[in-house]
Amino acid sequence: AQSVAQPEDQVNVAEGNPLTVKCTYSVSGNPYLFWYVQYPNRGLQFLLKYITGDNLVKGSYGFEAEFNKSQTSFHLKKPSALVSDSALYFCAVRASGQAGTALIFGKGTTLSVSS
Amino acid sequence: NAGVTQTPKFQVLKTGQSMTLQCAQDMNHEYMSWYRQDPGMGLRLIHYSVGAGITDQGEVPNGYNVSRSTTEDFPLRLLSAAPSQTSVYFCASSGLAGSTDTQYFGPGTRLTVL
């Protein structure tokens, strides 16, 4: 069965510092991995995805994520955090070759950036 | 494009009442799905559809019905609302080109069942 773990409920970082939001996954076969962000009282917004190729994926708002197959991880990173990055972040996975199947989401990590 | 739209934005029901949450997309996406979001539990899949006339159950389908008569619309019906169905409901859609397509989410419906 597919699963996603986000081991930290909350990540606190000071503005200007680098941030990392962790995600590990379990899937049979090759994974397709996604990061979404949710601002208060809003829907989920797509940030980036890994399908194949370069392990470092760049996305919206200066975020990037590194795919590590041996560690089954897909951590979200940003070199310099902004207060406006404060939000709820979700990692999601789908196994390759399963067109039409749903994304499996982690429970989410709240990122709090202090000024 | 309006993307994925959901109505209503907010709804309060009494236990036992029924209602339909509307979802529409204008991106000609084949795949549509409904999730519920509860604190500390992430998003859980209720039902999904891979095309008009085809629906299937997700992780938490009990108490909900869906139908997909057109590509654009994917309504979610609560047959007899219960307090446990108090949640935020999100509709999402994506193309069906393999499983690499990005899912796009609607703004959500916040439902309270008293």
Tens of pLDDT, residues B27-74: 999 999 999 999 888 899 999 998 999 999 988 999 999 999 999 999
Which of the residues B74, B94, B103 would you substitute to probe the A interface, choosing the one with the greatest number of A C-beta atoms within 10 Å?
A: B103
Contact call for B42 and A107, based on CB within 8 A: yes
pLDDT of residue B77: 97
Where are the alpha helices (H) located in chain A, listed in sequence order? none
pLDDT of residue B81: 96
Residue B97 has pLDDT above 80, yes or no: no
pLDDT of residue A99: 59
To the nearest whole angstrom, how far is the Cα of A80 from the nearest Cα of chain B?
26
- The neighbouring-strand residues paired with A114 are A14
Contact call for B106 and A46, based on CB within 8 A: no
Q: Looking at beta carbons, which residues of chain A come within 8 Å of B100?
A: 32, 49, 51
Where are the alpha helices (H) located in chain B, listed in sequence order? none
pLDDT of residue B80: 96
pLDDT of residue A100: 61
Query: What contacts A23, CB < 8 A, 6 or more positions away?
Result: A4, A5, A6, A33, A35, A73, A74, A75, A76, A91, A106
- The neighbouring-strand residues paired with A93 are A33, A104
Higher pLDDT, A52 or B96: A52
Residues of chain A with pLDDT under 70: 96-101
Residue B99 has pLDDT above 60, yes or no: yes
pLDDT of residue B98: 57
Contact call for A97 and B100, based on CB within 8 A: no
Residue B88 has pLDDT above 90, yes or no: yes
pLDDT of residue B29: 92
Q: Count A/B contacts: CB-CB distance under 8 Å.
A: 58
Residue B26 has pLDDT above 90, yes or no: yes
Q: Indicate the pLDDT class of residue B85, thresholds 50, 70 and 90.
A: very high
pLDDT of residue A6: 96
Tens of pLDDT, residues A6-25: 999 999 999 999 999 999 99
pLDDT of residue A40: 87
Measured CA to CA, the distance from residue B44 to residue A55 in angstroms comes to 28
Q: Looking at beta carbons, which residues of chain B come within 8 Å of A44?
A: 43, 90, 92, 105
Residue A26, classed as helix, strand or coil, is: strand
Measured CA to CA, the distance from residue A28 to residue A17 in angstroms comes to 36
pLDDT of residue A2: 82
